[in-house]
Structure 1
Amino acid sequence: MKSALGTLPAALAGKVVTPDDRRYPLLRSTYTTVGSPAAVVRPQSPGDIAAALRLARETGLRVAVRSGGHGLSGSGTNDGGLVTDLGALHQVEVLDRASRLVRVEAGARWARVAQALAPHGLAISSGDHGNVGVGGIATGGGVGWLVRRYGLTIDHVRAVEVVLPDGTFVRADAAIEPELWWVMRGAGAGAGIAVAFEIEAMELGDVGYAQLAAAVDPAGETLRRWAEVMERAPRELSTAVTLASRGTGTTAFITAVVASDSPAVIRDAVEPLLGIGDVTAQEAHVAPYTALVPAQHLHANTGRMPSSTTNGLLTGMTPDAARALVTASAAPDPVLIQLRSLGGASHDPDPSATAFAHRHQNTLVIASAFPPNQRSTLHAAWAPVAPHTEGAYVNFESARDEAAFARAYPGPTGTRVAGLWNRYDPDGILRPAP
């Protein structure tokens, strides 16, 4: 079979989408980044992924891997390269209900995963949007609505099925290919293409869900009080804060999720948040976990929200850090500042247990800027915040340079990650272009 890419492997017949294909506009981009790849491959098996990697080697095309979801960092597409879109690999299966072990393919999106697990009374902490893809989170980290109760998604990955850059299909766990298992949990993007994960889910049905809005003073004392509440909070409580500034005022919009269906537990967890400042609005109810990552979130990712994103982690919310966050949110050009609570179960693993080494910080700070000058806007807004942060979460980082790598994988973790990327992918076929 001939194409502009040369002779396509028989295994990929009908699975390669080029710019002249009517499907191309729906497959070329992530949610945030419009790409112009030479082709998008939609594999249906590990063999198809191996064939796509062989095609990339033969044509010299750089590979981008997309697990089917948002792809906030933009790394799920490229210009002139080959995109491997795993969206057709989306099966979810309960392997053993007694041990809560489930198998989830990398191209599934979390709305479907939540729907599949709900009848079994199970859930996986899985990002904060139903359109997020499994593969990106389960290889990069996984900060979700249940992070303080469950930990990161990668903390519960018991095995991963991987196609290595040389086409070899491997199942890695703590006993078999333990180094591959280690790097795939936090830095998998540079080692291989994940096909599926065996993940230990948690028992969960309904959860408490509350939305608050609080006025934020210029000095950020409201944010400091929020951080203090979260340091004392039970593990069942996880929160996300979005800062919005208009004129001279800043508002913190807080979403609180309590991993319990007990009204008493929910009330005791949420009530301290009412004391962080002038809470101007509130709503609270009990809802199924599926309502937090609903199927209504599912959509094609066509670059509809172009943006550039960076992030950092705070150990403590110092006065200077709080003030810097308010300043960044009130920048002349629009910048979206979000805070995600960490701690609790996310601190349980040893920093060396996975390739995500950030196990003592309490807050993840994410900044996003939008066209027309999003990169310069982001740089200017982030400058006062950066000195207060340490480390970064790879899934919320648009930059792909050495500095970004060092922030995501500091010190010995970075040395180990780099060594394993070079072992499994010596030609750098999966390495994102800077």
Structure 2
Amino acid sequence: MTTSLSTAPAGLTGKIVTPDDRRYALLRSTYTTTGHPAAVVLAESADDVAAALRLAREQKLPVAVRSGGHGLSGSGTNNGGLVIDLSTMRRVDVLDRDARLVRVEAGARWAQVAQALAPHGLAISSGDHGNVGVGGLATAGGIGWLVRRYGLTIDHVRAVEVVLPDGAQVRADAATEPDLLWVMRGAGAGAGIAVAFEIEAIELRNVGFVQLVARVDQDGETLQRWGDVMAQAPRELSTAVMMASQGTTPLAFITAVVASNRPDTIRQAIQPLANIGDVTVQQALIMPYTDLVSPAHLHPNTGQMPSTTTNGLLTAITPDAARALVAAATGPDQVLVQMRSLGGAVNDMAPAATAYAHRHQKALVIASAFPPHGRHALQTAWDALAPHVDGAYVNFESNPDQKTFARAYPGPTGSRVGQLWRRYDPDRMLRRLPVRAQESTKE
């Protein structure tokens, strides 16, 4: 370091948090990863973000960007570098109610967005937890509770306000900087720092919410039937499945959300799920969308849930894939296996339209290991699943590498992403390894 971080550059006075600051403990980490950055900059504007980037460049510090939310990948912090924290930039405005166009700053969390839009009867499908930050999700994809009805969050991003690594402030939309808009919708983390988005919302207030528990046979036929049901399901229905083992009997905990407040529509959408096997309906109700991404989810992120995660996409739940899912969930090491339904509106978008090219798959499978189990246990469980997956989603990957990049950005998409990252960030300021990837290179 050539100069002291205790002396703030112009414009950043009071916004630089170093380890001797009592605020540091609440700002250094993500939900899953404890970091030890040299400093955290609490940016309040695009000018602050640009100033923070200049500071990092001058002092040759690696940069991590955090929009304030979960950060499962661990990329929202680092060791010995500078973290640019956008959590104070959380304004939400309805720009055009008739067009359902809203502007959301990148530091907001989705619970805050849902609360701000609810009085207008609007909603955005945006992850499955209110504590998730806008910036990280809306530059990578966005697989939420309304995904089959709405599509990915990025599919409805109409413009992005970006601070480039050289400090330039740019608005990217279809008419100006279309290449930047393209890469920010799915691979934005390597091109620039998004500070605000213009997003087209949908008309929605209440949804059907149903929780079911299904016993899963060892051959995974229950999971195959879930896949078959979702392949034929109305777009209003999106589901998430969490697998757990009760003795030798695997259980699938299914959360189903129907983007409708009509009881008949909800019943018709849910009924096929109740017929996939030995199923118990635990609760069924109509609730405000805001309850799905509740303000009760908001909490500091202090590394309190250490985990290692990987994922893949499935084109179908084949018999072999179903058996592999059961094996992964019931192995000797405790690995949490989850699935998210895709299809529907997600697959309306052409693969080349955004940097997220996965427009034919039907499900996302996520595997996570928790202490005392770690990366080795996760890899052992994932080895059985790996032959069945087709692609990956960057936000559920703890140890990114070139193989991960190739799965997340296949073929021509990866070539274009790489080209645009080099154009907008030629010095690789934003393409540094997150904490756990740093650690893994030392093993």
Do both proteins adopt the same fold according to a TM-score greater than 0.5, normalized to the shorter chain?
yes
Contact 1:237–1:259, Cα closer than 8 Å, also in 2 = yes
Separation in 2 of the partners of 1:21 and 1:160? 33
1:28 corresponds to which residue?
Answer: 28
SS at match of 2:98: coil
Measure how far apart 1:282 and its partner are.
2.5
Separation of aligned partners in 2, 1:314 and 1:77 = 30
Alignment of 1:407 onto 2:401:
no
- Taking the TM superposition and a 5 Å limit, the aligned residue runs for 1:288-327 are 288-327=288-327
1:4 Cα offset (Å): 3.3
The answer on whether the counterparts of 1:246 and 1:330 sit within 8 Å (CA) in structure 2 is no
TM-score by length of 2: 0.97
Aligned to 1:103: 103
| Other-structure match for 2:440 | none
Tell me, in whole angstroms, the C-alpha distance in 1 between the residues paired with 2:391 and 2:6.
43
Contact persistence 1:95–1:101 (CA under 8 A): yes
Q: Measure the CA separation in 1 of the matches of 2:206 and 2:51.
A: 43
CA distance in 2, matches of 1:228, 1:400: 32
1:125 aligned residue: 125
Q: Work out the CA distance in 2 between the residues paired with 1:79 and 1:218.
A: 43
Deviations 1:320-340 (A, max 9, x none): 000000000012121110000
Question: Structure 1 residues 205, 6: CA separation in 2 closer, same or farther (over 3 Å shift)?
Answer: closer
What residue is the counterpart of 1:251 in the other structure? 251
Matched, 1:90 2:90: yes
Partners of 1:239 and 1:254 within 8 A in 2: yes
d(CA) in 2 for partners of 1:94, 1:386 = 43
Indicate the residue corresponding to 1:273 in structure 2.
273
Letter in 2 for 1:238: S
Contact 1:400 1:432 in 2 (8 A): no
> Is the 2:210–2:281 contact (alpha carbons within 8 Å) kept by the matching residues of 1?
no
Moved over 2 A (4+): 2-8
- Residues 186-197 of structure 1 mapped to structure 2, 5 A cutoff: 186-197=186-197
The reply on whether 1:224 has 2:224 as its aligned counterpart is yes
Aligned equivalents of 1:324 and 1:79: distance in 2? 36
CA distance in 1, matches of 2:301, 2:212: 30
Answer yes or no: is 1:420 the counterpart of 2:409.
no
Give per-residue Cα distances to partners, 1:74-97, cap 9 Å, x unaligned. 110111111111001000000000
Counterparts in 2 of 1:75-224, with a 5 A limit? 75-224=75-224
Determine the structure 1 residue equivalent to 2:68: 68
Other structure's SS at 1:195 match: strand
Matching residue of 2:441: none
Name the SS of the counterpart of 1:196 in structure 2. strand
* Cα distance in 2 for residues equivalent to 1:411 and 1:432: 23
The amino acid across from 1:392 in the alignment is: A
Partner SS for 1:209: strand
Amino acid at match of 1:9: P
Q: Which deviates the most, 373-382 or 145-154?
A: 373-382
8 Å contact from structure 2 (residues 219, 322) kept in 1? yes
The Cα of 1:289 is off from its aligned counterpart by 0.1
Deviations 1:13-65 (A, max 9, x none): 10011111100010010000000111111110111000000011011111110
What is the rounded CA distance, in whole Å, between the counterparts of 2:420 and 2:241 in structure 1?
A: 36
What is the TM-score normalised by the length of structure 1?
0.99
Q: 8 Å contact 1:335–1:377 — kept in the other structure?
A: yes
Q: CA RMSD in A?
A: 1.0
Say if 2:264 is the partner of 1:234: no
Q: How many residues align?
A: 433
- Give the structure 1 partner of residue 328 of structure 2: 328
CA deviation string 1:105-154 (max 9, x = no partner): 00000001000000000000000000000001100000000000000000
Give the Cα–Cα distance (whole angstroms) in 2 for the partners of residues 199 and 401 of structure 1.
30
Which structure 2 segments of 5+ residues have no match?
438-443
Displacement of 1:231 in angstroms is 0.4
Separation (CA, whole Å) in 1 of partners of 2:366 and 2:347: 19
CA–CA separation in structure 2 for the residues paired with 1:277 and 1:425: 51
Q: Name structure 1 gaps, 5 residues minimum.
A: none
**For residue 40 of structure 2, what is the amino acid of its counterpart?**
V
- Tell me how far 1:3 sits from its aligned partner: 7.0
Question: Is the contact made by 2:15 and 2:41 (CA closer than 8 Å) also made in structure 1?
Answer: yes
The answer on whether the counterparts of 1:90 and 1:108 sit within 8 Å (CA) in structure 2 is yes
State the shift of 1:6 in Å: 6.8
Q: CA deviation at 1:343?
A: 0.3
Contact 2:190 2:421 in 1 (8 A): yes
